[in-house]
Amino acid sequence: MFSDRTNWKLAHNRLTEALEKVRAGGTRILDLTASNPTRIELHYDAQTILGALTSPSALDYDPQAKGLPSARQAVARYYSAEHAADLDAEKIILTASTSEGYSYVFRLLCNAGDELLVPKPSYPLFEFLADLQDVKLVPYPLIYDHGWQIDFHSMQLALTPRTRGVVVVHPNNPTGSYVRENEFEQLNAFCRAHNLAVIADEVFLDFPLDGRRHRSFADNQEVLTFTLSGLSKISAMPQMKVSWIVTSGPQSQVNEAMARLEVIADTYLSMNAPIQWAVPVLLEQRKEIQRQLMSRVKANLSELDRRLAAQQACQRLAVEGGWYVVLRVPVTQTDEDLAIRLIEEDGVLVHPGHFYDFPGDGHLVLSLINREDEFAEGITRLLITMRHTRQLFASIFLSAALMSPIGAIAMPVPQDDHERHEQEEHERRVYDPDYRDYHNWDAREDEAYRHWLEVKHRTYVEYDRLDAKMQHEYWKWRHKHAEHEEHEEHEHH
Ligand SMILES: Cc1ncc(COP(=O)(O)O)c(C=O)c1O
């Protein structure tokens, strides 16, 4: 009864299942994948935002395929103010999401089975969008060599007579890499030579971490170009459902494309009136929201760097912009198994690299927009596990019965006698009275530690069954332990 194109494997993946299970047990998960800006305690100017949605003009129905002119003009002003691009509002079409923008452009360019070249690694939504439009995606690799680069040689090899365009994500999610100036030129030359369109996703354009403003594709005149962006990232308001397509390039192609796109948009008329009247105000809000987000992202990135500098188990890859960062981790298991382990043992959610089609294991993707305290705590847990992964520790357990009648918590210890001896020596140093005084341990923590020593060779743990307070105690303890280890590693170097 159903189409092949919707014949997706809809079963939950193992990571989602593990997450649901741990959450159902009442454990609070530290979400290092947080990407919903409305739930990370940014300060939005509620009065202005909600006020903008009550324009009396919204009582009028004015079905305009491309969207209301006042909203499109506001988008053009944004490009002029932020990206020195002088755009004609008549070449802008409003859509309800960037995804909708993609689907219009895919429909415009491709017959069923036609191909588009897409970066790899990149954003996983493409697959579904392409399935729905009967388009075939052919990946071209981004290669990591002193930062991420487009592999133009592979792009050339990926070309077939059915190729219609090249998708670039500028900067890419999750690699955080912008299309460089020289790549911009190469891409134009490639597309011109093969009569291809460029589809540029610029939702993260305004979030540079390298202190530079990067050129937008919105006024690229060299080849037919569709630039996609919207309020979901620019003003951190995904709930408002406002995005756009800017069309640029050789005049005759632009005119033809706009005429056809207008019919596609007219078929759906997906923008509602109140939101369109609000666009100028909501776009203006970007200034304050971007300021907050940039400061959040930079603070989290520098905290991450500070923590990474004190260990050797993992490193981060270079990032130029956007909300995400990629960690390179030891490949002792698949990324998915590692991510599941982090959920089950540490209560930390990260994305395994394979979600984004990384070519091999050894990559985790973290979001940088979460609250600083959550982020720091998540990194602590993550790095403890990475350190122990590297050292091939086995697990034994900390009982916390003193504070909870059932308590017992997983703790890492060495596997063989020699390692065990070293670990005990280490613990003796970590927990000597001076060290404890120095860190102002309180009586509860002392008791917890003494108790842990007593029971540490027991082999069963029920972390999930600890109450929230005990879980918190446990993490405080591990945090201190980690700080001390970092301190020692520093000293050692
Ligand atoms: C690269 C990229 N493009 C597009 C989107 C989706 O944007 P929208 O909410 O406007 O559909 C996302 C969302 O995370 C994204 O990462």
Cα-Cα-Cα-Cα dihedral of 54, 57, 59, 61, to 10°?
-130
DSSP state string for 328-363? E---SS-HHHHHHHHHHHH-EE-EEGGGGT-SSSSE
**Pairing relationship of beta strands 163-169 and 136-144 according to DSSP bridges:** unpaired
CA-nearest residue, atom 14 of ligand 1: 35
CATH label, 46-285, candidates 3.40.50.80, 3.40.640.10, 3.40.50.300, 3.40.50.2000: 3.40.640.10
CA of 233 to the centre of ligand 1 (A): 8
Give the closest residue to 382 by CA, choosing from 348, 354, 341, 352. 348
CA of 173 to the centre of ligand 1 (A): 9
Q: What does the pLDDT read at residue 431?
A: 43
Q: What does the pLDDT read at residue 442?
A: 57
CA-nearest residue, atom 16 of ligand 1: 173
Is the pTM higher than 0.85? The answer reads no
CA of 205 to the centre of ligand 1 (A): 12
Q: Is 30 exposed, middle or buried (0-12, 13-18, 19+ CB in 10 A)?
A: buried
The β-bridge partners of 150 are 142
pLDDT in tens, 299-354: 999 999 999 998 888 899 999 999 999 999 988 889 999 999 999 989 999 999 99
Low-confidence residues of the chain, pLDDT below 50? Answer: 391-415, 428-440, 453-465
User: Domain locations in the chain?
Assistant: 46-285, 392-493
The set of protein residues with a Cβ atom below 6 angstroms from ligand 1 is 35, 97-99, 123, 169, 173, 201, 203, 230, 232, 238, 243
Which two structure tokens, joined as six digits, stand for 102?
């993609």
Could you identify the atom of ligand 1 that is nearest to the CA of residue 122? Answer: 1
Per 3-state DSSP, the chain is made up of helix, strand and coil in percentages (nearest 5) of: 50, 15, 35
pLDDT in tens, 369-383: 999 999 999 999 999
Buried b (16+ CB within 10 A) or exposed e, 163-175: bbbbbbbbbbbbb
Q: What does the pLDDT read at residue 296?
A: 98
CA-nearest residue, atom 6 of ligand 1: 98
| Kind plus residue range of the DSSP H or E element containing 82 | helix 69-83
CA-nearest residue, atom 1 of ligand 1: 173
Could you identify the atom of ligand 1 that is nearest to the CA of residue 230? Answer: 10
